[in-house]
Structure 1
Amino acid sequence: MKITQVEVFHVHTRTTTRQRPILLRIDTDEGIHGVGEVGLAYGVGGSAGAAIVKEYAARIIGHDPFQTERIWEDFFKHTFWGQGGGTVVFAGISGIDIALWDIKAKALGVPVYQLLGGRVNDRVRAYASQTQLGWQHPVRISLPTTEAYAQEAVRAIEDGYDAIKVDVLANAADGTRATERLTGRLSQATLRLGVERLEAIRAAVGDFVDIIVENHANTDTGSAIQFAQAIEPLDIYFYEEVNTPLNPELTRRVKEKTVIPLAGGERIYTRWGYRPFIEARSLDVIQPDIGSCGGLTEFAKIAAAAHTYDITVQAHTAGTAIAELAAVHAETAIPNFIIHEHHQKTLLDEYKELVDRDVQPVDGYFTAPEEPGLGVDFTQYVYEHSDRQVVS
């Protein structure tokens, strides 16, 4: 089997999220194709992500798609910038790697998780992620009141989840984007607003729902510690992206000052990037994004390294159903899985129309599909509403 063509689709801007997913398709001479996703739909850098996939694609035309390890190492060792790392480099590698695993599993007639070690977890527990954006609404909303934070959490619990994730510091009291800096020392007004929102959520969902607090690295070491100590009585499941990952020592300092487990990883790439966090055990939960950490090939190695330090793993997931199912397959096959992220954007029509499968949990749990490959493909809509590049 040989790779004959790679197509890259930079999807046109989504109406509500203002994001541009980057999808790709790899074709072979045996009529089997695989799909992948580059984890750069949001933030700045998507155009670079689409462009680097095109450059990488030229290196794999005519190659055997089963040689995922060899192809990964070529990208890493022989592109010069691979060993420098970074978001765009590894996101490009990731998208291609996911598609190659999809091809391999389809060719062998098995679901991807079987090639990753088989089913370790029969079901994958999920949490409702980013409830501050609204839950089960046709568009994203901006929550204007503390009571609204509690109401959206309840909506998720009514859908069958027993865990939610929320960012309570990103928005001001009127629901608009917070303008006060969240670094250094939080003002009492900001501190109390965040605490009150979490207290309202805890009161509304009860004691048997897990609450994850998301900071999006908007806080720094000082403010992260200050806020952590204020919310410790609320029995937080874990505390995510508390500060920049660019100085691992700072995360260790936060961990020393709170009893809340720390999580992070969507902006950490490859086993080398995770190494200082794992060795210091400064993160209790690591969250590699399969669309940017190095793909399924690298995710398995990161998870294995974490397992030697009793660190649990949750794939960061904030893409289409292609990224979602790549995560479900990977999490199904690792022993140190903790919980799966089901993002608010997957409920929106503008994301559902991109794929041929509406991937939603049942009573808060996913089960990996049994179809060969990932079990999902993108729709004709993607071909008609993307900036498309073909490499053959």
Structure 2
Amino acid sequence: MKIEKVELRELNGTLKTEKPFWEERLVRPIDIYPEHRSETLADWDKKRGVLYSSQKESALPISAVFVEIVTDNGLKGIGGPIDHSQAHIIKEQLSHLLIDKDPLAIERLWDQMHRFQVHGRQGTPMIALSAVDCALWDLKGKYYNEPVYKIIGGPTRDKIPAYASMLGFTVEDMGLVKERALEFKEKGYKAQKWFFRHGPMSGTDGFKKNVSMVKTLRETLGEDYDIMLDCWQSWDLNYAMKITSRIEEYSPRWLEEVAMPDRIDTYRQLRQRTSIPLSGAEHEYTRWGFKRFIDQEALDILQPDIYWAGGLSETLKIANYASVHDLITIPHGHSSKAGINFSVTQSPIHTPYQEYLEKWNTIHQFFLKNPIIPEKGYIYLPKETGLGMEIDSSKVESEKIIK
């Protein structure tokens, strides 16, 4: 069996909603500049070219690209969704390394793609490689007619607790924060993650709003409920120290991505000065990037994104090294399909949760058959072969092959 072709399919469709889907954006590193701090969610979407576009009335247009690896015997592995910049790299730099190769030799193909992209160790090139890797795993599972988790070690349990990740919900109205927090607790979630809207340049008012959100969540959800807080790499050490001293009394489960990932000293110093566990490295890449965080004892919880850090192949290596240091690995919730196939193979003490982004995963899985959806706060073992990547043609209004 050999790889016959690598195709990149752009799909377009429309998600029907009863009300505007996205309510608020999160704080960003670039918000230290006033012209960017004032940008709305719609402004940000337009500038960065995301998978979805601005919503009009009750319809949210969605456009996404999937990579499909097809063999000479008709098997197909699917990875994605990705954007056009990553699709371009797959087409121009990676596809020639795959044609006529054995698709089951994933380690060999990963190594060749990594060594070929000498300037692609991070960022968009690594995200492109990650999508190819996941497509290869999807294909391999389909070849053996098994879910991928059975191939990479087998399940350690039949379900995993999901935490509700509340990206896109408003955090400015404490009444709505309380209402939504209770709503998702009643759905069975034992944990929730909320996203800060303000950073160091938002002044005293922004600082107070950040603290108020944490206080509201703890008072609403009770003492025995896990609350995670995401800074989206937008703070500095001084701001983080100031705010942790104010919110330690509310016992967050963790504080996530306090600074951009290259600022490892910020994480290390903060970890020495706060009782709140630190998580992060969602925007880090490969085992070598995570080794820096682990060796410098900068994090308590590692959060590689399977579709960014190097694919399922690399995430398994990251988790193995983390387990040597008895650290927790909970992948960023970018892909529920790849995520569950990874998470259920890990020790429950090292991967106690899977992230489920309530809004983003709806977008990310829009074109997929049988999307992963938590039931009463748990994600159960999937039954589909491979990573369960199958396109739901009924959702596709138009499509094209990227040439």
Q: Secondary structure at the match of 2:359?
A: helix
Structural RMSD (CA): 2.1
1:30 corresponds to 2:73: yes
TM-score (norm 1): 0.85
User: Relative to 1, partners in 2 of residues 1:273 and 1:352: Cα closer, same or farther, differing over 3 Å?
Assistant: closer
The partner residue of 1:192 within 208, 211, 214 is: 208
* Residue aligning to 1:176: none
* Residue aligning to 1:341: 355
Contact 1:97–1:296 (Cα < 8 Å) also in 2: yes
- Counterpart CA distance in 2 for 1:312 and 1:156 is 24
Contact 1:166–1:213 (Cα < 8 Å) also in 2: yes
User: Relative to 1, partners in 2 of residues 1:249 and 1:386: Cα closer, same or farther, differing over 3 Å?
Assistant: farther
* Residue aligning to 2:44: none
* Residue aligning to 1:103: 139
- Counterpart CA distance in 1 for 2:272 and 2:131 is 36
* Residue aligning to 1:374: 387
The partner residue of 1:212 within 225, 228, 243 is: 228
Q: Secondary structure at the match of 1:73?
A: helix
* Residue aligning to 1:6: 6
* Residue aligning to 2:175: 147
Contact 1:281–1:311 (Cα < 8 Å) also in 2: no
- Counterpart CA distance in 1 for 2:242 and 2:65 is 38
- Counterpart CA distance in 1 for 2:150 and 2:365 is 26
1:93 corresponds to 2:129: yes
Give the 5 Å matches for 1:169-188: 169-170=197-198, 182-183=199-200, 187-188=203-204
1:313 corresponds to 2:329: yes
Percent of residue pairs bearing the same amino acid type: 28
- Counterpart CA distance in 1 for 2:65 and 2:241 is 36
* Residue aligning to 2:109: 71
Give the 5 Å matches for 1:1-392: 1-12=1-12, 13-15=51-53, 16=55, 20-37=63-80, 46-55=83-92, 56-82=94-120, 85-130=121-166, 133-134=168-169, 142-170=170-198, 182-183=199-200, 187-318=203-334, 323-335=335-347, 336-346=350-360, 348=362, 351-380=364-393, 384-386=397-399, 388-389=401-402
- Counterpart CA distance in 2 for 1:10 and 1:264 is 31
User: Relative to 1, partners in 2 of residues 1:254 and 1:193: Cα closer, same or farther, differing over 3 Å?
Assistant: same
Deviation, structure 1 residue 266: 1.6
- Counterpart CA distance in 1 for 2:354 and 2:164 is 9
Deviation, structure 1 residue 20: 5.0
Q: Secondary structure at the match of 1:4?
A: strand
User: Relative to 1, partners in 2 of residues 1:273 and 1:381: Cα closer, same or farther, differing over 3 Å?
Assistant: farther
Deviation, structure 1 residue 99: 0.8
- Counterpart CA distance in 2 for 1:192 and 1:277 is 30
Counterpart residue type for residue 342 of structure 1? Y
User: Relative to 1, partners in 2 of residues 1:65 and 1:149: Cα closer, same or farther, differing over 3 Å?
Assistant: same
* Residue aligning to 1:177: none
* Residue aligning to 1:173: none
Counterpart residue type for residue 63 of structure 1? K
Deviation, structure 1 residue 156: 1.1
User: Relative to 1, partners in 2 of residues 1:92 and 1:351: Cα closer, same or farther, differing over 3 Å?
Assistant: closer
TM-score (norm 2): 0.83
Q: Secondary structure at the match of 1:187?
A: helix
Deviation, structure 1 residue 76: 1.1
- Cα deviation, 1:154-207, whole Å, max 9, x if unaligned, reads 11111110100001334xxxxxxxxxxx237x7332222111111111111112
Q: Secondary structure at the match of 1:203?
A: helix
Contact 2:75–2:142 (Cα < 8 Å) also in 1: yes
Gaps of 5+ in 2: 13-50
Moved more, 308-317 or 369-378: 369-378
- Counterpart CA distance in 1 for 2:61 and 2:276 is 33
- Cα deviation, 1:270-302, whole Å, max 9, x if unaligned, reads 001111101122111111111010001100000
Counterpart residue type for residue 291 of structure 1? Y
Contact 1:279–1:309 (Cα < 8 Å) also in 2: no
- Counterpart CA distance in 2 for 1:347 and 1:307 is 27
Counterpart residue type for residue 67 of structure 2? L
Contact 1:9–1:50 (Cα < 8 Å) also in 2: no
- Cα deviation, 1:20-62, whole Å, max 9, x if unaligned, reads 5432111111221111125x5xxxxx43211111121222011
- Counterpart CA distance in 2 for 1:234 and 1:260 is 10
